Amino acid sequence: MRRFGFSLLAVAAGLSAQAPTARRVESNRLWMRDPAAVNVPWLPVGRAPRLIAIAAVDGRLYGASVASYVLERERSAGDAPWTIIGEAWKIAAMAAVEGKLYAANRDGMLGAAAPARNLYFAPIGNEKGIVAMTASNGNLYAVNSDGWLLVWEDPVHKPVGWRDIGRADRITALAALEGKLYGATIDNRLLLRENLLRDQPWRLIGHAENVTAMTAFNGELYAAEYSPSVITLPRDSSVCALWETNQLYREARNFLRSAKQTGKIRSKPECLSLSGDPAALATRGARELADVIAGSCARCACAAEF
């Protein structure tokens, strides 16, 4: 099968139209969090090699990368190696139903494959504009580029047949767990709605920084982050308003205030750059906080301190 390349829609974030930008190391991380809690931090669980889609099957995680590969790794609370098992078929979204992987590509093709070495997605239908997928109770759910939430009931036994069941505006990643649907948005929010086959309101439950793909496994949410090397402060002030209620934000503020007073961080651009690079942040005196405050929490703290 011919290998395809594609361009990733950047998941941008930030606080004002005039906000400064800063260079940083490209971020490719896998995160995990408790789906039931509101406004809790994501915990780092390893690398996510530029993933645009992820799914969980039989105790393993599967991902499709912007480098045109399908990869797999074991599910664990720490870092684990990813192994290439096939080509990415220009994938935009992926989900799993009854042990089989389903994928939608950027040319509007749908495919299905067994999760095995030399994986091959056999075309099974067409649906243009799918940007995110997940599965629950034997059904496939998808979000399209027009902001509609779609369902395909019983894809294992029925031909392709999507119907819309409500709005899913600005959602770029989707997951399902215990009767709930979770959506990560382009403006870094984590939303939740009831998993019913009709329109339901979405509500804000936290942040989802630069998330390009999500899945659920063993009662936890997993998210793949892929962010470019230029960052901005979030434009939507509610992102920081959400963080301001979190103890991690207060600890980040205290750390940054101390770092500014001692000259370890000297300016807002430098602060922004460090906020996206946990390793660099750790060298400035907060090693125990470096992983958990990197991202929008640290950037909001930068905005308040400088």
Over the chain (306 residues), the average pLDDT of each successive run of 10 is 28 32 60 89 87 92 88 80 85 94 93 90 91 96 95 93 95 95 92 94 91 92 77 57 72 81 84 70 56 66 83
The pLDDT of residue 110 is 94
Q: Tell me, yes or no, whether 190 lies in a domain.
A: yes
Main-chain phi, psi angles of 194, to 5 degrees: -70, 140
The predicted structure's pLDDT at residue 228: 54
Sheet (strand 83-87) strand order: 51-57, 60-65, 69-74, 83-87
Can you tell me the distance from the alpha carbon of 251 to that of 289, in angstroms, rounded to the nearest whole number?
8
Indicate whether 238 and 301 sit together in one domain.
yes
pTM: 0.73
> Is 22 domain-assigned?
no
Residue 92 maps to a domain: yes
Do 70 and 210 sit in the same domain of this protein?
A: yes
User: Are residue 202 and residue 79 in the same domain, yes or no?
Assistant: yes
**Pair (222, 300) in one structural domain:** no
In a domain, 153, yes or no: yes
Cβ neighbours of residue 2 under 8 Å, at least 6 residues apart? none
Whether residues 119 and 168 share a domain: the answer is yes
Residue 139 resides in a domain = yes
Q: Indicate the Cα dihedral angle 201, 102, 185, 43, nearest 10°.
A: 110
- One domain, residues 105 and 159: yes
Pair (116, 151) in one structural domain: yes
Question: Looking at the domain assignment, is residue 136 inside a domain?
Answer: yes
Task: Tell me the residue range of the domain where 100 lies.
Answer: 27-227
209/281 same-domain check: no
Same domain? For 222 and 140 the reply is yes
The residue out of 187, 206, 227 marking a domain boundary is 227
Structurally, the chain folds into a number of domains equal to 2
Q: Point out the domain boundary residue: 227, 258, 284.
A: 227
Q: Packing angle between helix 296-305 and helix 268-275, nearest 10 degrees?
A: 170
Q: Are 175 and 122 in a shared domain?
A: yes
On whether both 87 and 223 belong to a single domain, the answer is: yes
pLDDT of residue 13: 30
In a domain, 2, yes or no: no
d(CA 290, CA 150): 38
Q: Within 13 Å, how many C-alpha atoms sit on residue 146's CB side?
A: 8
127 near 133, Cβ under 8 Å? no
- Which residue stretches of the chain are H helix? 237-243, 247-261, 268-275, 278-283, 290-293, 296-305
Q: State residue 23's pLDDT score.
A: 43
In the structure encoding, which two tokens stand for residue 251, read together? 């600890």
Give the residue from 177, 198, 227 where a domain finishes. 227
Flag whether 18 is in a domain.
no
222 & 272 share domain: no
